[in-house]
Amino acid sequence: MFWAAASQGRLVVEGCSSCGAESFPPRGICRSCRGRAMVPVEITGRGVIYSFTVNYQRWLPDLEVPYAIVLVEFPGHPGVRVAGRLRGCPPEQAAIGMAVEVGFEPGPGGYATPSFIAAGGAT
Amino acid sequence: MGTDLFERRVVISGVGQSVIGRQVDRSGLALTIDAILAAVEDAGLRLDDIDGLAMFPGGGVANLPGYANGNLYEVQDALGITTTWRQGIVEGMSLPFYGPAQAVATGQARHAVIWRTVKEGSASRNAGGRPAYGSTKPAAEGPLAWLLPVGMLSPVCQVAPYAARYMHDYGVTREQLAWIPVTQRAHAALNPDAVYTSPLTVGDYLAARMISSPICLYDCDVPADGATAIVVSAAETGPDLRAPVRIEAMAGVVEGRPSWEQWEDMGRVGYGAAAAMWARTDLRPGDVDVAQLYDGFTIEAVWWLEAMGFCGTGEAGAFVDGGTRIALGGELPLNTWGGQLSGGRLHAAFGHTAEAVRQLRGEAGHRQVAGAEVAAVTNVGGFEAGAALLTCW
């Protein structure tokens, strides 16, 4: 569900058809009411950086550094936090509270992996 | 309180370690046997007294090269003993002696040995640097599927955002945090088995290269080669043991979301374990004479200082500032063997446990805390947390 939507550039998480709670990553069970009827929910709005790191270490021989990794949460979507790279600004400009747009970029194995684009300004 | 607690029916009877270093030219099996033989002798026991064997990590878990050594079957074959209890501990190992204590307290074994052997120093050398997480696996799967593709290629990257958030929320600075690695390096200088013993200054720390902000080189533990073995025995055998140490209380709690990137607030990972542990004893934080708090990264020791109640939430920066409180001679000497930051990444609180036992016996040499009667030991492995108090026999 998540990776199929990701290939279309869409961020899809699990929503519970019983209680409405949302969750990520997909577990096939609602973490709030333990219901099993989970349906796709697309997140389209801006996210907010919960926290971040700027990685300088070349862990792999062909890894380009530095880059910023952000943990992003979404207003109105409690229970959803997504890790991804930050694009659209120098990595050192990443900041807690910064607004970001959802994006994806080509990743290993042909998968589209989550990334986020600096939206400018705090939410 | 709680004289029927199961941990009161067991003691830590022996600790032993192999040669420890950045690179040690011995196999993982050889290092493991070195440590086991030393621990059994240290306990005042013979190999034939041992009827329980356990190791971490069991099941061949190897997300990192050099992480898992000393196979349970090979070790038992080498020692030529009969066991009535064995355990390869993968998850659920809040503390090294937790599972063995359960086994001994319930009569499944009388004297159990657990070991942890790392060859990560050699692995780092062979890889030309600290290897990427998951580099021993052909594909990112399970929890790693959400981490590796976006560049969270090391535990450093995984902890760093939580360190950044903690420092942001509480105004804690790198200038303050520097005092943990700096003080522990001074302790390591008094430990002949420590990996790094040359002096480290706050200036050195602030000038060090950043790995994943805000975590710099000296915030990371040192990949090492070495083995630690711990013997856990039935308390009733105490009079026959050389120098046993009591387990006053211990607890392991996993709460919140057990996931590197989903934790609500990683800074609070130890709070559940600490609260459960304190509920099992009449001792209070002020009774602790020496603290061996897990320090895979500087920030983990910071969080343990707060979770254990040695200072308030967000106050650890001020608590460690200047190093006075956490140095030898201070109110809470911290990681007196140098910790993993300078003593070596022996991992999973095995090195911390060994040092706590030495301190309580008065066998810590030039770094001995005078009159140490109560030692705190904590471990955190990502989102797994365990806390214990050890006391003199």
Query: According to the CATH classification, is domain A2-122 in 2.40.50.840?
Result: yes
> What is the per-residue pLDDT for B217?
98
- The nearest alpha carbon in chain A to B256 belongs to A31
Q: Are B278 and B40 within 8 A, CB to CB?
A: no
- Check pLDDT > 60 for residue B177: yes
Contacts of A24 (CB under 8 A, 6+ apart): A2, A13, A14, A79, A80, A81, A82, B262
- Check pLDDT > 80 for residue B140: no
Give the model confidence (pLDDT) of B6-19 as tens digits: 999 999 999 999 99
Mean of pLDDT over chain B: 94
Contacts of A59 in chain B (CB under 8 A): 129-133, 153-154
Residue B44 belongs to some domain of the structure: yes
Query: B161: distance to nearest CA of chain A, Å?
Result: 5
Residue B71 belongs to some domain of the structure: yes
Nearest to B45 by CA among B132, B116, B112, B130: B112
For B199, the domain range is: 6-125+152-392
Residue B93 belongs to some domain of the structure: yes
Q: Cis (ω within 30 of 0) for the bond into B57?
A: yes
Please answer yes or no on whether B150 and A85 come within 8 Å at the CB atom.
yes
| SS3 category, A1 | coil
* Rounded Cα–Cα distance for residues B78 and B150 (Å): 43
Query: A57: distance to nearest CA of chain B, Å?
Result: 5
> What is the per-residue pLDDT for A107?
82
| SS3 category, A23 | strand
Contacts of B101 (CB under 8 A, 6+ apart): B6, B7, B10, B232, B247, B250
Give the model confidence (pLDDT) of B307-343 as tens digits: 999 999 999 999 999 999 999 999 999 999 999 999 9
CA distances from B117 to B60, B123, B211 (A): 13, 13, 26
Helix (H) or strand (E) holding A2: helix A2-6
Please answer yes or no on whether B157 and A69 come within 8 Å at the CB atom.
yes
Please answer yes or no on whether B149 and A108 come within 8 Å at the CB atom.
yes
| SS3 category, A117 | strand
Residue B133 belongs to some domain of the structure: no
Nearest to A76 by CA among A44, A35, A40, A102: A44
Give the model confidence (pLDDT) of B85-114 as tens digits: 998 876 555 899 999 999 999 999 999 999
* Rounded Cα–Cα distance for residues B200 and B218 (Å): 9
Which of A7, A69, A74 to substitute to test the interface with B, most B CBs within 10 Å? A69
Contacts of A57 in chain B (CB under 8 A): 129-130, 154, 156, 211-212
> What is the per-residue pLDDT for B90?
62
Q: Are A81 and A105 within 8 A, CB to CB?
A: no
> Nearest Cβ partner of A50 from B131, B153, B165?
B165
Give the model confidence (pLDDT) of A37-77 as tens digits: 999 999 999 999 999 999 999 998 889 999 999 999 999 99
**ipTM score assigned to the predicted complex:** 0.95
- Give how many domains chain B has, as a whole number: 1
Give the model confidence (pLDDT) of B29-84 as tens digits: 999 999 999 999 999 999 999 999 999 887 666 678 888 888 899 999 999 999 99
> What is the per-residue pLDDT for A11?
96
The token pair at B8 is 């009161």
Taking residues A86-96, report their average pLDDT: 97
Chain A residues within 8 Å of chain B (Cβ atoms): 24-25, 50-60, 63, 67, 69-71, 81, 83-85, 96, 107-109, 111, 113-115
Please answer yes or no on whether A71 and B130 come within 8 Å at the CB atom.
no
Domains of chain A, by residue range, sit at: 2-122
Nearest to A89 by CA among A121, A50, A60: A121
Query: B122: distance to nearest CA of chain A, Å?
Result: 16
Residue B68 belongs to some domain of the structure: yes
Please answer yes or no on whether B213 and A60 come within 8 Å at the CB atom.
no
> What is the per-residue pLDDT for B352?
98
The CATH number covering residue B330 comes to 3.40.47.10
> What is the per-residue pLDDT for B264?
85
Q: What is the 3-state secondary structure (H, E, C) of chain B?
A: CCCCCHHHHEEEEEEEECCCECCCCCCHHHHHHHHHHHHHHHHCCCHHHCCEEEECCCCCCCCCCCCCCCCHHHHHHHHCCCCCEEEECCCCCCCCCHHHHHHHHCCCCCEEEEEEEEEHHHHHHHHCCCCCCCCCCCCCCHHHHHCHHHCCCCHHHHHHHHHHHHHHHHCCCHHHHCHHHHHHHHHHCCCCCCCCCCCCCHHHHHHCCEEECCEEHHHECCCCEEEEEEEEEEHHHHHHCCCCEEEEEEEEECCCCCCCCCCCCHHHCCHHHHHHHHCCCCCCHHHCCEEECCCCEHHHHHHHHHHCCCCCCCCHHHHHCCCCCCCCCCCCCECCCCHHHHCCCCCCCHHHHHHHHHHHHCCCHHHCCCCCCEEEEEEEECCEEEEEEEEEC
Please answer yes or no on whether B151 and A63 come within 8 Å at the CB atom.
yes
> Nearest Cβ partner of A53 from B131, B164, B262?
B164
Count of CB pairs separated by less than 8 Å, A with B: 90
Give the model confidence (pLDDT) of B180-203 as tens digits: 999 999 999 999 999 999 999 999
- The nearest alpha carbon in chain A to B132 belongs to A59
Contacts of B212 in chain A (CB under 8 A): 53-57, 69
